[in-house]
């Protein structure tokens, strides 16, 4: 009997120690405060987690403008998240608060205006608004011409010409050797460029919002007449000589009249023709001639060679026919 009473006492003491420990832990824990719900007049369970640090997009000093595409989110109220573009009037349409004028405001200022409209309208208590700019159309530079992806590119912080060209995927095969840069309200300037951007480090000039940059197409020369592949050819390196042009055209045909080759050039006073000593050029007895943009290199056909060719062809046909008759 004494052993049973002793065991009973031990169990009671053990249970009492557990209860005391649990009560001590509860007393040591801080009491959580229950915040008011974000919607006015609503009552929901507490949200113990504070809103995370929100990262701004780009430079917070940049100002919104017409055409910018923005994403607006309200912490803990996903129903109000929206993606919209700033209209030509500078306004954006948002759920509940209707139109809000944001043009000319920084990201921080726009967030504060939206938060005030939500709070004063009784829609959300103590709202926390995040604004993210997906496209900075109003704070961008237009890159046109011979680049892989022409378009408007954001100019955030310290941006330079080569940065935008790289963002646009680089040059196309038709790109020329110069670019035209027009700063807002200023005259256009031309800068030399190359496929290897390091060739012209001085051309990596700063660009600003509102700039227009145009990459010129390479100039073209034409080779026509009695050549293998008459066509137009790009002056991708900025210059092209007569021999280079003939090589691109596959060379002259056997019936070409090399002594009659000439360059046809358009001048302010009209078309001019300049004889080309093609035979001497091919024999390296004369200096090669540099062509100019839109020049036409014309290689005529020799009537004598054409006649001789036809005569030789006719003679071959007659000889072939006579041989066939003899065989028969």
Task: Output the pLDDT for position 159.
Answer: 87
Task: Output the pLDDT for position 308.
Answer: 64
Task: Output the pLDDT for position 88.
Answer: 87
Residues of the chain with CATH 3.30.1950.10: 69-135
Residues of the chain with CATH 3.10.560.10: 140-217, 220-304
- CA nearest to 164, candidates 218, 211, 201: 211
Fold (CATH) for 220-304: Outer membrane lipoprotein wza fold like (3.10.560)
Alpha carbon distance 119, 124 (integer Å): 5
Task: Output the pLDDT for position 152.
Answer: 85
Place of tokens 């038709």: 174
Fold (CATH) for 69-135: wza like fold (3.30.1950)
Residues paired with 270 in a beta bridge:
267
213 three-class SS = strand
φ, ψ for residue 309 (rounded to 5)?
A: -65, -40
What Rg value do the Cα atoms of the chain yield, rounded? 40
pTM over 0.85: no
Q: List CB contacts of 302: < 8 A, sequence separation 6 or more.
A: 226, 255, 256, 257, 260
Task: Output the pLDDT for position 314.
Answer: 56
76 three-class SS = coil
- Asked whether the beta carbons of 103 and 136 are under 8 A apart, the reply is no
Task: Output the pLDDT for position 200.
Answer: 85
Q: What is the mean pLDDT of each run of 10 residues along the chain (328 residues)?
A: 43 43 41 36 36 40 82 93 91 92 92 94 93 81 93 84 92 91 88 83 90 93 95 86 95 92 93 94 93 94 74 58 55
Fold (CATH) for 140-217: Outer membrane lipoprotein wza fold like (3.10.560)
């Amino acid at each position: 009997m004494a052993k049973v009473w002793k065991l009973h006492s031990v169990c009671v003491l053990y249970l009492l120690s557990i209860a005391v420990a649990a009560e001590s832990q509860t007393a040591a824990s801080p009491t959580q405060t229950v915040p008011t719900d974000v919607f006015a007049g609503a009552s929901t369970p507490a949200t113990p987690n504070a809103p995370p640090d929100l990262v701004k997009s780009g430079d917070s000093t940049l100002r919104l403008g017409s055409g910018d595409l923005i994403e607006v989110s309200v912490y803990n109220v996903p129903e109000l998240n929206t993606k919209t573009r700033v209209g030509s009037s500078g306004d954006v349409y948002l759920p509940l608060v209707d139109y809000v004028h944001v043009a000319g405001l920084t990201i921080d200022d726009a967030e504060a205006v939206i938060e005030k409209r939500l709070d004063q309208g009784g829609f959300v208590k103590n709202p926390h608004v995040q604004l993210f700019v997906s496209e900075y159309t109003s704070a961008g530079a237009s890159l046109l011409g011979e680049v892989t992806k022409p378009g408007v590119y954001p100019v955030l912080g310290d941006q330079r010409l080569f940065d935008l060209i790289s963002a646009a995927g680089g040059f196309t095969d038709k790109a020329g050797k110069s670019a035209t840069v027009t700063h807002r309200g200023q005259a256009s300037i031309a800068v030399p460029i190359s496929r290897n951007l390091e060739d012209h480090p001085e051309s990596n000039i700063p660009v600003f919002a509102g700039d227009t940059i145009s990459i010129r197409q390479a100039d073209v020369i034409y080779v026509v007449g009695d050549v293998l592949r008459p066509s137009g050819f790009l002056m991708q390196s900025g210059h092209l000589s007569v021999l280079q042009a003939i090589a691109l055209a596959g060379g002259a045909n056997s019936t070409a009249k090399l002594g009659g080759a000439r360059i046809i050039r358009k001048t302010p006073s009209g078309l001019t023709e300049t004889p080309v000593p093609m035979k001497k050029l091919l024999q390296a007895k004369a200096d090669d001639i540099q062509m100019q943009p839109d020049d036409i290199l014309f290689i005529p056909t020799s009537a004598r060679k054409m006649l001789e060719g036809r005569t030789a062809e006719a003679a071959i046909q007659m000889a072939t026919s006579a041989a066939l008759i003899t065989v028969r």
